[in-house]
Structure 1
Amino acid sequence: MDVTEDTVRDVCTDAVFERGERYLTEGRIHEMHRVDTTVTAAVSGSRQYDVRVDLATDGFAPWCDCPYDGPGACKHVVAVLLRCVDDPPPDEGDQLDAALDGVDADELRAFLRDELATDADLRARFLARVGEPTRQSADELRASIARRFEETNPEYHVVFEPIDFTQWFDLANEYREQERYASAATVYRALVESLDDNMERVDGAYDHFSSAFSRALDGYVDCVAAAERDADAVTDAIGFLNERATSGTPFLAEHFEKAAVELREKMNEQPSK
């Protein structure tokens, strides 16, 4: 997607666009990097906020950890995109490729193993990439997601700012790319349950959390259907959705009900074996 002032305006309101312009001229953007089409940056405001955009995706797939809860992208994202219009950061992808091409295989293996040993999230994505099924249950994954809610605002029950769920969505996507749909469904189910359990404590960034919930629920339905599980497993998945519709967050009940209907329809459309 071309990065122009017009395409940036398309992803935000006029007021936010003006604030983004001001942030850009005030020099609030720091540590800006690009690898291929992914740009990351730190933008200073009331504190330093992390921003990520994808220049090749429609709408730029913006993400920022600020508490903005309005329509479209926030001013921090807009400032970064506007910087990319006239002064995009150099692509570090070639440097990365050259380093990978030149490194000794044993040295690379040793480095990768050290990193995987100390970074559980990276290790999970790596194992998914090489085709290993998940060894974590939905309950274990849900517990790790729930901790993120607790860590966001440890002094209060209320959550005011967005939470970055990227690591779990990336993990689910890795499984989907490997056609390990049952493992992907497990990750999506953990996200759905944790978001449902914590949605009523959210007081800000509603669009962010609603979008994450919808994305996880859609992913769960798609992967359960794609996994072509036996009848008992599908019945269990539909039962889970119906149970959440009655016992979960009230304003999410309709979403669960629709998901159960959609899953049933998807399974009915599949040819019998």
Structure 2
Amino acid sequence: MDVTEDAVRDICTDAVFERGERYLTESRIHEIHRVDTTVTAVVSGSRQYDVRVDLATDGFAPWCDCPYNGLGACKHVVAVLLRCVDDPPPDVGEQLDAALDGADADELRAFLRDALATDADLRAQFLARVGEPTRQSVDELRASIDRRFEETNPEYHVVFEPIDFTQWFDLANEYREQERYASAATVYRALVESLDDNMERVDGAYDHFLRAFNRALDGYVDCVATAERDADAVTDAVAFLEGRVTSGTPFLSEHFEKAAVELREKLGEQSDE
């Protein structure tokens, strides 16, 4: 979509827009980069905040790791988008393409293999992209998600600021595009479990965590209903949702109950076809 002031105003409140304008004029934006339509930046506030927007997506798909919990986008996102209106960063996508086109195939393979050997998350994303089913269990995926909660505020049990779950949602989406729905369901379930078990420690950005939870829960139901599965897998999925109604975070019980009903209805509709 076009990056205009009006488009930016549409995703935030008037007060936040004014604060974003002030942040822009105060030169608080640092390390801004653009690859194709994705813009990343660091914006200084009470500390340095990471910001990411997609200029081609309706609403810009904004993400920031600040603790803002109000309506719409935060002032850091607004500042970055307004910078893109007035002085967009150069797109290095073509530079990357040229470098890839000119790279020696063996050297590129060696570089990629070294990167994949040392970065488990990147390795999982790569294997999903080339069509390999996940070999990670729910517990293994959960461990990496839980670790993100631990790292966010290591001195205290409470989590005050948003956590970026993009890498897991991207991984699940990659599996869905490959029509490996069982693998996608495994990733979604790990997200659902981790978010449910850690929700009571959240003391800020509630909307952010609840949106992530609902997105993962919806994805889980859809993928379980779509995947080729045996009776035991179906029974386990329904039992998982129904069990969390009573064993999970109390204010999420209604979400699990609705998801269990929705999954049963989806499975019933398929059996009638």
Give the superposed CA RMSD: 1.1
Deviation (angstroms), 1:251: 0.4
1:196 maps to a residue whose letter is: D
- Map of 2:202 onto structure 1: 202
State the Cα deviation string for residues 125-180 of structure 1 (Å, max 9, x = none).
00111111111110111111111111111111110011111111111111111111
2:100 maps to a residue whose letter is: L
Q: Separation in 2 of the partners of 1:2 and 1:242?
A: 44
- Map of 1:179 onto structure 2: 179
State the Cα deviation string for residues 210-255 of structure 1 (Å, max 9, x = none).
1100110011011111103223211210110000011100100010
State the Cα deviation string for residues 163-204 of structure 1 (Å, max 9, x = none).
111111111111111111101100000000000001011000
- Do residues 40 (structure 1) and 40 (structure 2) align? yes
Q: Separation in 2 of the partners of 1:243 and 1:220?
A: 15
Q: Separation in 1 of the partners of 2:259 and 2:228?
A: 17
- Map of 1:269 onto structure 2: 269
Query: Structure 2: 5+ residue runs without aligned partners?
Result: none
- Map of 2:112 onto structure 1: 112
State the Cα deviation string for residues 73-118 of structure 1 (Å, max 9, x = none).
0000000001111211111111111111111100100110111111
Write out aligned runs for 1:60-79 (5 A): 60-79=60-79
- Map of 1:122 onto structure 2: 122
Runs of 4+ aligned structure 1 residues displaced above 4 Å come to none
State the Cα deviation string for residues 50-83 of structure 1 (Å, max 9, x = none).
0000111111110001111111100000000011
- Map of 1:227 onto structure 2: 227
1:47 maps to a residue whose letter is: R
Q: Separation in 2 of the partners of 1:146 and 1:99?
A: 37
- Map of 2:95 onto structure 1: 95
Deviation (angstroms), 1:272: 5.6
Q: Separation in 1 of the partners of 2:232 and 2:195?
A: 26
Is the partner of 1:57 in helix, strand or coil?
Answer: coil
- Map of 2:243 onto structure 1: 243
